Amino acid sequence: MAKLVRFGVSVDAELLDDFDELIVEHKYSNRSQAIAVLMRNKLIERNQLKKNVSIVAIISLVYNHHKRELVNKVMDVQHDFQKVIISSQHIHLDHDNCLEIIACRGKNSIILELFRVLGAIKGIKHSLSMTTSGK
């Protein structure tokens, strides 16, 4: 385990109260653990935005499958970007809506482009979640 370092932090009392509530909600053991998680997340985010870094990301889409043209576009785009798509899963949410989860691995620039292209399809609700490759 890496060497632990102590450091002092001064913040607004109200901010600290809110942060302590967050610590309880997220079931962190203490402030040190919560701050370490936030620091790591921020560093992962910074790393992912560097030029041509390899990342792992999940794109989720929700759309109405009765709009056939939209379904075909989603399919076409995924074929165009198969280089960075590891896997996708289709879930029938209800009578009208489908959820598609697309797992990606590859250059951040290509994955962000895929995200933008999917988002440009009218009628799609989408979100992107970037994570670490674990390395």
Q: What does the alpha-carbon distance between residue 135 and residue 132 come to, in Å, rounded to a whole number?
A: 7
3-state secondary structure of 34: helix
* DSSP string computed for 74-123: HHHHHHHTTTTEEEEEEEE-SSSEEEEEEEEEEEHHHHHHHHHHHHTSTT
C-beta closer to Ni ion: residue 45 or 96 = 96
* # of chain residues touching Ni ion (CB under 5 A): 3
C-beta closer to Ni ion: residue 65 or 105 = 65
Residue nearest to Ni ion (CB): 98
- Lay out the site mask for Ni ion across 5-44 (x = CB under 5 A, - = otherwise): ----------------------------------------
Tokens of 70: 């939209």
Site for Ni ion contains 98 (CB under 5 A): yes
Per residue, the 3-state secondary structure of 98-111, as one string, reads EEEEEEEEEEHHHH
C-beta closer to Ni ion: residue 72 or 132 = 72
Site for Ni ion contains 92 (CB under 5 A): yes
In the complex, the residues that contact Ni ion under the rule CB under 5 A are: 65, 92, 98
